[in-house]
Amino acid sequence: MKKRYETKFSVSSLSFNEIENIIKSHPIIFQKIFSKRKVNNIYFDSSDLTSYIDNVEGERDRNKVRIRWYGGLFGNCENPILEVKQKIGQLGWKDRYNLNNFKLSKDRYFDYKKVFSPIK
């Protein structure tokens, strides 16, 4: 499990170009490590929207659960991963679990029992 420290900054007073220049001039010299691709997510939350509210309110300790896959949104969703993202203060990590491939229709229906069957 790879852990990392994250810090968020408010940049509402900066333009997109200013933000891009700051990032590109950073001494680490950020580089693209992935080719252009589409990233899809299905987020899960409690009925009282705990994950959403914790995020919006900037709770120090929080978690979120999502399914992530790359490629097209609808149709065959291949190599999906269940990610449980956890954060305690500035320290964050993801627990990741491979899921069965599934199909997602335009009405956003998918057979969740089939998708989650590999998780014990």
33-42 pLDDT per residue, tens: 778 889 999 8
Evaluate whether residue 40 is within a structural domain: yes
Amino acid at 15: S
- Is residue 62, in this structure, part of any structural domain at all? yes
Q: How many domains does the chain fold into?
A: 1
DSSP code at position 74: S
Please say whether the beta carbons of 95 and 83 come within 8 A.
yes
Nearest to 44 by CA among 36, 32, 52: 52
Residue 18 covered by a domain: no
Q: Is the pLDDT of residue 94 over 70?
A: yes
- pLDDT band for 115, please (50, 70, 90 cuts): confident
Q: Which residue has the higher pLDDT, 101 or 105?
A: 101
Domain assignment present for 25 = no
Question: Does residue 15 belong to any structural domain of this protein?
Answer: no
Instruction: Tell me whether residue 6 is in a domain.
Output: no
Domain containing 99 equals: 34-116
**Separation CA 92–CA 89 (nearest Å):** 8
Residue at 66 is within a domain = yes
Q: Is the pTM of this model over 0.75?
A: no
Residue 2's nearest CA partner among 68, 81, 86, 69 is 86
The answer to the question of residue 2 being in a domain is no
